[in-house]
Structure 1
Amino acid sequence: MGSETVNGSNAWLKTSAPSLAEMEAMAEDAYARLPEEFRTLCGNLVIRVEDFATDEVLEEMEIEDEFELLGLFQGIGLAQGYETTTGVLPNMIFLYRRPILDYWAEHEETLGDVVTHVLVHEIGHHFGLSDDDMERIEEEADT
């Protein structure tokens, strides 16, 4: 069995988990494919990828297992009166690489689909969108 490969491909032998920068690029690409009206809700959005949420965030959200939090939206969207004024930090989405990779390893979805799902849900929950609305937005991003 030594030199045999799954489905005749050995591509996985040289594949590694995406770095923080690679996952950030993946997230920015996924965000760019979301419907424009959805992106407009966010104002000036910055996407950051970190391995895990900070201890402060986990404590504030009363989360004991750092693998439970895949992403977080911080900020105020246009729907809540966001304006680009001096002294106002931009809206931010934090994606947590290690929990996302852990989730991906245990489910039948592509990594790109998981990243898109986390982005849409973090933004959508912040703005009070329904699960049906978020599912539609995800489907539009796939086209």
Structure 2
Amino acid sequence: MSDTLLNATAPDLAMFEQIARATISELPPAFKVLATSVGVTVMDFIPEDLMAEIGLDDPFALTGLYTGIPMTEKSTMDQATAPDTIWLFRRPILDEWCLRGDVTIQQMVAHVTVHELAHHFGWSDEEIAKIDKWWDH
């Protein structure tokens, strides 16, 4: 094994956020403007309170999450209690990336980011495939 691999470190939380924001900035113009208002939070794992709220037992089982009201369900009568947010969970993403072995970490983070944006926009699988080149792999 090369010294480069032995001394390699996994991308940190800041790098994951940078990849997610770059992914958002590369969206088609019609979506980019709307997506920039969605918060991006990157953590190693889902917080325990949020994990309990959605009924999840294994923190490694979730790579990302969207919290908020999807655009297809929003109304002018809605009182937002929290901002729309994309959550990315670094350790589960790293695990899935390692298991796959056929995509870059940038592609993996971009895929999770787009998938969570899909919940925000209310996209179908076909609409996701137009945006997320992941499906080409």
* TM-score normalized by the length of structure 1: 0.78
1:125 to 75, 99, 119: 119
Residue identity (%):
35
Unaligned runs of 5+ in 1: none
Contact 1:69 1:99 in 2 (8 A): yes
Contact 1:41 1:78 in 2 (8 A): no
Unaligned runs of 5+ in 2: none
Letter in 2 for 1:111: I
CA-atom RMSD in angstroms: 2.7
> Secondary structure in 1 aligned to 2:132?
helix
**What is the Cα deviation at residue 71 of structure 1?**
0.7
Query: 1 CA distance for matches of 2:8 and 2:103?
Result: 18
Partner of 1:67 in structure 2? 60
Letter in 1 for 2:91: R
Is 1:46 paired with 2:39? Answer: yes
Query: Aligned pair in 2 of structure 1 residues 120, 82: CA closer, same or farther (>3 Å)?
Result: farther
Query: 2 CA distance for matches of 1:80 and 1:113?
Result: 29
Query: Aligned pair in 2 of structure 1 residues 128, 118: CA closer, same or farther (>3 Å)?
Result: same
Kindly tell me the number of residue pairs found equivalent between the two proteins.
132
Structure 1 stretches of 4+ moved >6 Å: none
Query: 2 CA distance for matches of 1:137 and 1:87?
Result: 27
Contact 2:66 2:85 in 1 (8 A): yes
Higher helix share: 2
Post-superposition CA distance 1:94-131 (Å, at most 9, x none): 10000000000000211111111111111213433111
* TM-score normalized by the length of structure 2: 0.81
